[in-house]
Amino acid sequence: MPEADLVLLHPPSVYDFRKKSIMYGPISDLVPSTPIFEMYPIGFMTISEYLQRYGYSVRIINVALRMLKNKRFCVEKLIKSLNPLAFGIDLHWLVHAQGSLELARIIKRYHPKTPIIFGGMSASYYHQELIRYPQVDYVIRGDSAEQPLLQLIKRIGQNEPPCDVPNLTWRNDDNKVRVNEFSHIPSDLDDVSFDYRNIINSSIRYNDLIGHLPFQGWINYPIVAVLPWKGCINNCVICGGSAQYYKRICRRSIPSYRSPQLVAKDIGLISKCLKGPIFILDDIRQGGARYAEELLDKIREKKIKNHIAMEIFSPATREFLKMIARSIPNFNLQISPESHDEEVRKAFGKDYNNRSLEKTIEDALEVGCKRIDLFFMIGLPKQTSQSVKETIKYCEGLLENFSKANSGRIHPYISALSPFLDPGSRAFEDPQKYGYRLFYKTLEEHRQALLQPSWKYILSYETEWMSRHEIVTSTYDAALELNRLKARFGLLKQKEAEKLEVLIKEAKQLIRWIDEIVSIKDEKLREIEIEKLRNRFNQLENSNISRQEELRWPVRLVRFNLFRVMQAVLTRD
C-alpha cells in the first residue's frame, strides 16, 4: 500500500469509549453521528484535495468509525503501521477534546519524531493551551487551513523551521511557543474543492473504505453536504460559529463565499453518483438576494432529483419559497425557532414572532415542500422547565393546525444544548450577562469532563432559570411528551413510540442512580458501582430520546450509481 505524506485522523470523542462506562445520553440525537461523534469535518476533504493538487499524498482515517465498527480493531497496531511525514488530527468540535489528545499521545509513543498537527474550530480557539501538551507540535488556526498546511508540510519535508507559515502556533527548538501572524484569511471559497470523488479515490488507493466513511450507517443513508460559505452574519448567543467567533478567532469580518456556479456544480456532481439527500449548509439568503437567486437558477439547470435539504435562519417570503420549489422538486426545510416563547427566542438572538414562523410553514407546505423539520432547544436564556412544557404544547398546536395540509410533513424535535456551551459564543465569553453559569472553561477542564459518568456531569453549564439537573430531567420529560404526540399524529409508529418511552424512563432511572453513586466519597468504590451499570449503558447506546431515523430525508431506492462512481473516479468527468 502506498505511504501517505500526511495522515489525517479523526478521533472518537472519548478514547477508549469501548472500555469506559459512560452514559452519553441524547447529546448526538439530532446529528447523524453516535455519541462518539464519529463524523469527521468536511474540511478533511478540501485539505486532502488541496495538498494532492500540489503533489502531496493524503490519507484520511476515521479512527472513531473503525473503532465503532469493530470492537477488536487495534488503534495502536494501525498507528504503528503508518509512517507519514506528519499526522493531522482534528479538534474541530470540542467534544473531541479527550479523544484527540489521547490519540496524539499514542502516536507520539510510536512515532516520537513525527510531527502532529492539530486544526479546526476548537483547536483555533484553544491554540495557546493546546500547544502546551507535549504530544502537540503544531496548531493551524482559522477556518481555512489548506494553504498554511501545505506550507507547513513543505517546511517539515525540508526540515526547516516554519517561521513564515501563516496562522501557525508552534514550539521552536528551545520549547518556546511561537504564534505566527494570522494573515491567511481567504475572501472566497473558490480555490477549494468539495469533490467527493477525491474521497472515493483515496479509499480505493488505501484499500480502506470504512476509514473514509463519514459516519456509521452512511452506506445505507448516503447524505452529503455542500457549503456555500464559511462564517456567519448572525450572532446567536450560544453559537460558537457566530459572527463574533469568526471575527475574534478567525479574523473574518464577513463570510467567505463560494460562487453559486461552483456550489451548483458540486451539487450536480454529487447527484450523478449518489442518490441520497444533499444538505445545503447555512441559509442561502445570507449571501444576499442575488446570491440566492443565482444559486437556485443554476441548480434548476441541473434538474436534480435527489432530495435537497436547506436551512432557513428566519421566516421566508412566499416568493422565495416558490423560487426554491421551481428549482428543486424535492426540497425540504429546516428551521430552528429554538423556543415557542418569543421572549426566549429573542434572548437567544432570533427576533421573529410565531405568526411569521407559521406563515412560512403554511406557504412552504403549499408550494410543495416535502418536509419541514423544526428544532427546539433546552438550556436557553430566560427558559424555564415550565416554558419547555409549553413548547411541546405549541408543537401539538402546530401539528393540529396543519394536520390537513401536513400529512406527516412537519417534524418537530427537541433536545438539550449539549454537551458543551460552544467556546467563542457570546454566552461562553460573557456567561453572567446571558444568565449562564459555566462548570468548565479551559480545554483541560472539558477534556476531563468527557470522562464523567453521565451526560449530566459532562454538561458544561446551567442557567439562571434551570439547574443542570432540571435541564436533564426536562429534556427527558419533553422527549416523552413529544414522542407521544408524534405517535398520535402518525410521525412515529405506535410500537416505536412505546419502545422509546421505555428507554427514556430507563434513562431517567439511571440518571438518578448515577447521582447516588457520584455522591460516594471513596473513589474506588464509586468506580466499581459505575462499572456495574455498564451493561445498562450499553443497552441504551444509540437509542436516545428520539428516533434518529425520523430525521432522515428519503434516499432513492438505488443509493449509488456504481457505474457513475467508477467512471467519475477514473475519468474525473
Pick 245 or 489: Cβ nearer ligand B12: 245
Total residues at interface with ligand B12 (CB under 6 A): 40
CA 373 to chain centre: 17
Does 551 bind ligand B12 (CB under 6 A)? Our answer is no
For ligand B12, the binding residues in 368-387 under the rule CB under 6 A are none
Dihedral of CA 262/265/267/270: which sign? negative
**Shortest distance (Å) from residue 225 CB to ligand B12:** 5
User: If binding is defined by CB under 6 A, does position 335 make contact with ligand B12?
Assistant: no
Rounded distance, CA 265 to CA 244, Å?
Answer: 31
Closest to ligand B12 by CB, 121 or 296: 121
Does residue 239 interact with ligand B12 by CB under 6 A? yes
Residue 27 binds ligand B12 (CB under 6 A)? yes
Whether residue 374 contacts residue 412, with contact meaning beta carbons closer than 8 Å, is answered with: yes
- Of 23, 60, 89, 344, the residue at the interface with ligand B12 (CB under 6 A) is 89
Bridge partners, 349 (sequence order): none
Q: Using CB under 6 A, which of the segments 99-107, 112-120, 431-439, 547-555 binds ligand B12?
A: 112-120
Q: 3-state DSSP call for residue 476?
A: helix
Q: Does 60 help bind ligand B12 (rule: CB under 6 A)? A: no
Print the SS3 string covering 225-275.
EECCEECCCCCCCCCCCCHHHHHHHCCCCCCEECCHHHHHHHHHHHHHHEC
Smallest gap from Cβ 511 to ligand B12, in A, equals 18
From the list 33-41, 129-137, 291-299, 323-331, the region that binds ligand B12 by CB under 6 A is 33-41
Near ligand B12 by CB under 6 A, which window of 52-60, 114-122, 261-269, 514-522? 114-122
Binding of ligand B12 at residue 480 (CB under 6 A)? no
How far is the C-alpha of 513 from the C-alpha of 530, rounded, in Å? 9
User: Does 398 participate in binding ligand B12 (rule CB under 6 A)?
Assistant: no
Quote the Cα angle for 317-322-328, to 5°: 130
CB contact at 8 A, 219 and 553? no
Q: Which of 46, 271, 339, 360 binds ligand B12 (CB under 6 A)?
A: 46
Which residue among 14, 22, 23, 47 contacts ligand B12 (CB under 6 A)? 47
- State which of residues 93, 133, 457, 476 lies at the interface with ligand B12 (CB under 6 A): 93
Interaction between residue 198 and ligand B12 (CB under 6 A): no
Smallest gap, in angstroms, from Cβ of residue 94 to ligand B12?
A: 4
Which listed residue (11, 119, 222, 276) binds ligand B12 by CB under 6 A?
119
Residues in the chain: 573
| Residue among 90, 208, 338, 470 that touches ligand B12 (CB under 6 A) | 90
549 φ/ψ angles, rounded to the nearest 5 degrees: -60, -30
Which of 121, 312, 478, 485 binds ligand B12 (CB under 6 A)? It is 121
User: What is the footprint of ligand B12 within residues 452-471 (CB under 6 A)?
Assistant: none
**If binding is defined by CB under 6 A, does position 94 make contact with ligand B12?**
yes
- Cβ at position 356, least distance to ligand B12 in Å: 23
Residue 446: its H or E element: helix 443-449
CA distance 170 to 137: 6
Q: Is residue 28 a contact residue for ligand B12 (CB under 6 A)?
A: yes
Does position 88 interact with ligand B12 (CB under 6 A)? The reply is yes
Residue 225 touching ligand B12 (CB under 6 A): yes
486 to 515: interface string for ligand B12, x by CB under 6 A:
------------------------------
Q: Which residues contact 374 (CB under 8 A, 6 or more apart)?
A: 335, 336, 337, 395, 398, 410, 411, 412, 413
Shortest Å distance, C-beta 139 to ligand B12: 8
Among 17, 21, 33, 336, binds ligand B12 (CB under 6 A): 33
3-state secondary structure of 3: coil
Check if the beta carbon of residue 260 is closer than 8 Å to that of residue 294.
yes
* CB distance 98 to 14 below 8 Å: yes
How many angstroms separate the CA atoms of 122 and 183, rounded? 19
Q: Minimum Å distance from CB 115 to ligand B12?
A: 11
Report the C-alpha gap between 78 and 521 in whole angstroms.
39
Of 47 and 296, the one with the shorter C-beta distance to ligand B12 is: 47
Q: Does residue 193 interact with ligand B12 by CB under 6 A?
A: no
Stretch that binds ligand B12, among 164-172, 238-246, 391-399, 555-563 (CB under 6 A): 238-246
Instruction: Output the CA–CA distances (angstroms, integers) from residue 382 to 14, 158, 419, in the order listed.
Output: 32, 56, 19
Which string of x and - marks every residue 336-365 that binds ligand B12 (by CB under 6 A)? ------------------------------
Q: Where are the beta strands (DSSP E) in 113-180?
A: 116-119, 138-140, 168-171, 177-179
The residue among 119 and 412 lying less far from ligand B12, judged by its C-beta, is: 119
Query: Is 240 near ligand B12 (CB under 6 A)?
Result: yes
Determine contact, residues 573/195, Cβ cutoff 8 Å.
no
Residue 23 interacting with ligand B12 (CB under 6 A) = no
Assess 92 for contact with ligand B12 (CB under 6 A): yes
What whole-number distance in Å separates Cα of residue 472 and Cα of residue 378? 9
Sequence-ordered list of residues with C-beta below 8 angstroms from that of 247, at least 6 positions apart, any chain: 253
Q: From the list 52, 57, 122, 454, which residue makes contact with ligand B12 (rule: CB under 6 A)? A: 122
Measured from the Cβ of residue 147, the count of other Cβ atoms closer than 10 Å reads 19
Contact between 42 and ligand B12 (CB under 6 A)?
A: yes
Q: How many Å apart are CA 325 and CA 366, to the nearest integer?
A: 10
Residue 281 binds ligand B12, judged by CB under 6 A: yes
Helices (H), 57-126: 63-69, 75-81, 97-110, 121-125
The site for ligand B12 (CB under 6 A) is made up of: 27-28, 31, 33, 37, 39, 41-43, 46-47, 88-90, 92-95, 117-122, 140, 143-146, 149, 225, 227, 230, 232, 239-241, 281, 422-423
